Chain A
Amino acid sequence: MATEQRRAGLIRVLALIRKESLQMRRDPSSIAIGVLLPVMLVLLFGYGLSLDVKNVPVAVVLEAPSPEATELAAGFSLSPYFRSQTLIAMPQALALMNSREIDAIVRVRPDFARQLALGNAEVEVLLHGSDANYARLVQAYAEGAIGQWRARRQAEGQSTLVGPVTIASRLWFNEANNSRYFLVPGLIVLVMTLIGTFLTALVMAREWERGTLEALFVTPVRVAEIMIGKTVPYFLLGLTGLILCLLSAKYLFDVPFRGSVTVLLLISMVYLLVSLGLGLLISAAVKNQFVASQLAVLTTFLPAMMLSGFLFDIRSMPTFLKMLTQLLPARYYVDLLQTLFLAGNVWAVIIPDTLVLLAMAAFFLWRASAMIWKRLE
């Protein structure tokens, strides 16, 4: 009897999986999100978006020419990161700044040479702050250029600047300072989040909306079977997206991969389960396609993009946001991916992060199965 019941249950699950796969195959939007979107994102982010800053327009204002100041200016004009012009007065530079023809001003005051000789010279760097992230990068480059000049003078045994010029250390694990190396792993997070949460929330909400669940409920089918029937096809679609991203990372962008592929796949499966659980939870809570898709984007996709450390470094976030990211599954996955891609199998990172994701997956799937029950109210 028990085995017979199990068999009937298996037949029902298989029927639901087949139904879902057929729908997926016939619905261009799920194919678009599962296959086309990863490819598009990879191409877009890989070729179009680059966080490397080059040829920053900058004005070096030498208010009184001196050999030392000219030498400093040369540091900017020869750097590939800057496209500099040398001016002799601030008003002109400020005008350029206001019309956003330049993004930074390096001001060398008239008494620069004299102060330098006294050992307390300063160089003022003014940044266009409208794009804070960009400004911070430019700041770092400018400090780098000034630092190089200072280092050379120090090496030559001459007096140099005082004050807070810090020099960025070599960028670890991204020797080439190539942002693609961390963008592509980030893409995997986006794709998996979209397929896992967005698509699942959408298709489940569609069943509520179209009333197909109402008819399904009045059959021998159990809630757990409905959930498995929904999860399996999207789990596989997510893995397809993952493989597409991995292949393009390797063959299109030559992103180094230093960890183990098996570990990556296992971790991604755990993250997919987290996403799917969240998607099912959202659709069970709102039962409306439009609201479900909005919620999915707001609670998973946007945070995955903004707060997971994929685009913006978590370390530079305000404390409140930093704490918020602790709740974000994507944050742990980004951490894991960047570690696997750029550093290798660092178990000290992999084990705790994976445990957190496993706990989240269990929580969301449990909540979803508690919320989807065969009732219409």
Chain B
Amino acid sequence: MTEQDRSDSRLNHNADFLVTAYDIRKTFKQGKQLITALDGISLQIVPGTLSALVGPDGAGKTTLLRLLAGLLNLDGGSLQVLGIDVAVDPQAVQSRIGYMPQRFGLYDDLTVQENLDLYADLHGLAQAIRLSRYTQLLEMTHLAEFTHRLAGRLSGGMKQKLGLACTLLSSPALLLLDEPTVGVDPLSRRELWQIIHHLVQQEKLTVLISTAYLDEAEHCQLAIVLSQGKILSQGPPEVLRSSATGKVFLLQPAIGQLARNLQARLLNHPSVADALPEGGWVRTVFHQPPADTQNPCPQQLGDTQLNSLAIPANFEDGFMLLLQKTRPPATQTPEQNLQLSKTFKHSAGEVVIEVRDLLCRFGAFTAVDHVSFEVKRGEIFGLLGPNGAGKTTTFRMLCGLLAATSGSLTVLGQDLRFAGAAARQRIGYVAQKFALYGQLSATENLEFFASAYGLHGQQRRERLAWAIQQFELADMMQQPSEQLPGGYRQRLAMAAALMHEPEVLFLDEPTSGADPLARRDFWRRITGLAEQGVTIVVTTHFMEEAEYCDRAVIQDAGRLLAQGTPAEIRAYGKRSDGGRPSMEDAFIQIVETARAHGH
């Protein structure tokens, strides 16, 4: 019996729904504007099922979950949770469900045990069953040995697991999880999903989970696709997946061509719905099944015929097809790649960044442990690793923001810690979570960064116009940047770092929390920059983004575990089902091997 059959049979036996939403609406006031967050949502959730809420940033996922939890007032429609009208008696719902907000409200200055005690008391968990429940949850989340550690000192993945444990203490009738896996490393992500599956299968828990990772929807019985406050599709993930069947192909770039460049050209083609580099090839989704399945590649693309391979579709392919259909033409990806006013010529193999035996200690804690690598001009270089691996610390040392304990590092021939303004003028830096001034508008932010890099007069005006045009910023220039949606903020931060046209661009977790569309746009721009000779160093915990890099290193617990081209790194991976290993498989394999060897 498949997963699907099981849930169908349950549906027949139990016609009651845990959640019944009919035509619910929610608007927010922002300044004088009314923003529609949810526009007539109707859905039903069957007890004992696992449902996923997927959709781009700002689609209304969090608003929907908060409405279910009785944390927002409904503006229209009717909403029943556990048979209770949420608008009438939110407390009755809140007492019986479990809810884990995006930033779970753990108290950082309380220990793991104290956080558990607090929530056990708040939920009125009887003393008699408390101990067994603690043991069970701590074992499930692998937190048993950390009970005396402050929650603030846990890694991102451990925090999420503790948050989950806290919401599970009372055995809730319904569990609502708001993007629990965002920013969590692949290992912890896998563990979290194992826990969730266990809860649904063994404890018959009903779970509604929102996620930005589309592969996660594939594990669920119901996938609800939300976009701009409306439900685009609702049903088993197979439905969306099968909509892409016959339309997905792997295309091999011509010799000497980079996968990401082929991808960029494919994305510009009207017949292509989506393209992603994958294992040195390009995974391509066509709007219609191509006439010639042996040679699906459109004729206009290059003179040579490309090798191709028809492959089974996944949920993401179907999702992208669906989104492309509903996306208004105005927001389609730009036709042109990002254009700088100059390109940086380079002799082959010129080393721009050199790191030798870099060590960074904070007291007894070694954040970066003897790391060496080099980056050549015009490369996209990736630093991959889970939260707390030392990526940001390495980054800060590279940018001259932090002193290394020992070792040497040079960027453009100098140590930026001691280099003058002229050397700093040649680099750009986009900090994690984007260092923008929240109260300033997009224009004011750009003007400030331009001035900070010494641009003025005509030149500044030109660069400003360039940034607004290239990064599609025009529609929200006057809003304070803290009110801007995540994707827009990311573009703004990148524009700010590129105002002075640096030779080397550092990006720290630029795609964290961004939805698939925003991430594709981002990489498109990065690819364009690299083509013009800009050297790019980027950290990410989305493993598949390593596919865009020329070379990447994998860090864990401060140590450098592997480095090489995406193909070389992927070769470390193996799959139990014998399939082609993904970047994520490789990452998990590498980290687990290293940890098994005593680290």
Contact = CB atoms under 8 A, between A and B. Distances in A.
B122 interface: yes
B462 interface: no
Nearest to A24: B109
B69 interface: yes
Interface stretch (A32-40, A79-87, A189-197, A209-217): A209-217
A123 interface: no
B287 to A, nearest CB: 40
Contacts of B97: 218
A155 B88 CA distance: 87
Chain B residues touching A, range: 35 or more
Given A215-B101, A374-B94, A19 B71 contact: no
A170 interface: no
B94 A218 contact: yes
Contacts of B123: 219-220
B110 A215 contact: no
User: Among A15, A26, A219, A374, which residue has the most Cβ atoms of chain B within 10 A?
Assistant: A219
B109 A15 contact: no
Contacts of A50: none
Interface string A16-31: 1011001100110000
A87 B94 CA distance: 83
B66 to A, nearest CB: 6
A377 interface: yes
B286 interface: no
Interface in A200-249: 207, 210-222
Contacts of B315: none
Nearest to B71: A376
Given A12-B121, A219-B94, A222-B91, A19 B105 contact: no
Contacts of A12: 121-122, 124
A376 B62 CA distance: 12
A126 B109 CA distance: 60
Most buried by B among A211, A220, A374: A220
A315 interface: no
A14 B94 CA distance: 20
B213 interface: no
B101 A375 contact: no
Nearest to A7: B124
A376 B72 contact: yes
Given A12-B122, A211-B101, A374-B91, A218 B106 contact: no
B162 to A, nearest CB: 11
A11 interface: yes
Pick the most buried of A19, A215, A221: most chain B CB atoms within 10 A of its CB.
A215
Please indicate which of the listed interface residues A11, A22, A27, A214 has the most CB atoms of chain B within 10 Å of its own CB.
Answer: A214
A22 B109 contact: yes
Contacts of A213: 105
A232 to B, nearest CB: 15
A216 B123 CA distance: 10
A210 B105 contact: yes
A317 interface: no
Given A219-B94, A220-B123, A214 B71 contact: yes
A8 interface: yes
A315 B108 CA distance: 49
A224 to B, nearest CB: 12
Interface string A364-377: 00000000001111
Contacts of B72: 375-377
A16 B121 CA distance: 9
B94 A217 contact: yes
B33 to A, nearest CB: 15
B296 interface: no
A218 B102 CA distance: 13
Interface in A75-115: none
A377 B101 CA distance: 15
B206 to A, nearest CB: 15
Contacts of B163: 215
Interface in B108-145: 108-110, 114, 117-119, 121-124
B109 A217 contact: no
Nearest to A209: B103
A86 B100 CA distance: 80
Interface string A271-304: 0000000000000000000000000000000000
A365 B487 CA distance: 41
A221 B117 CA distance: 14
A221 B120 CA distance: 12
Interface string B407-437: 0000000000000000000000000000000
Most buried by A among B94, B105, B114, B122: B122
Contacts of B121: 11-12, 14-15
A213 B122 CA distance: 13
Which of B72, B100, B107 has the most A CB atoms < 10 Å from its CB?
Answer: B107
Given A15-B121, A215-B101, A23 B107 contact: yes
A27 B105 CA distance: 17
B114 A374 contact: no
Interface in A142-182: none
B110 A217 contact: no
B71 A374 contact: yes
Given A374-B91, A376-B66, A220 B110 contact: no
Contacts of B104: 211, 215
A213 B90 CA distance: 15
Nearest to B122: A219
Contacts of B506: none
A218 B100 CA distance: 9
B453 interface: no
A336 to B, nearest CB: 36
Contacts of A377: 28, 72-73
A12 to B, nearest CB: 5
Contacts of B100: 215
A376 B102 CA distance: 14
B106 A15 contact: no
A208 B163 CA distance: 17
Given A15-B118, A376-B66, A220 B124 contact: yes
Nearest to B99: A218
A214 B178 CA distance: 12
B513 interface: no
Contact of B71 (A22, A212, A217, A221): A217
B71 A219 contact: no
Nearest to A213: B105
A282 to B, nearest CB: 20
Contact of B109 (A14, A16, A27, A207): A27
Interface in A335-353: none
B105 A212 contact: yes
A220 B114 contact: no
A260 B423 CA distance: 71
A216 B28 contact: no
B70 interface: yes
A371 to B, nearest CB: 15
Contact of A15 (B108, B122, B150, B167): B122
Given A23-B110, A211-B105, A213-B105, A220 B70 contact: no
B124 A11 contact: yes
B417 to A, nearest CB: 30
A214 B90 contact: no
Given A14-B121, A216-B122, A375-B73, A210 B103 contact: yes
B114 A22 contact: yes
Contacts of A27: 109
B122 A211 contact: no
6 contacts: A23-B107, A27-B109, A220-B91, A222-B91, A376-B71, A377-B28
Given A19-B107, A215-B104, A217-B71, 18 more contacts: A8-B124, A12-B121, A12-B122, A15-B121, A16-B122, A19-B110, A26-B109, A26-B150, A27-B109, A210-B103, A210-B105, A214-B105, A215-B167, A216-B105, A219-B94, A220-B91, A374-B71, A377-B28
Q: Which 10 A-B pairs have the closest CB atoms?
A: A215-B105, A15-B121, A212-B105, A218-B99, A220-B95, A211-B103, A219-B122, A214-B101, A8-B124, A26-B109
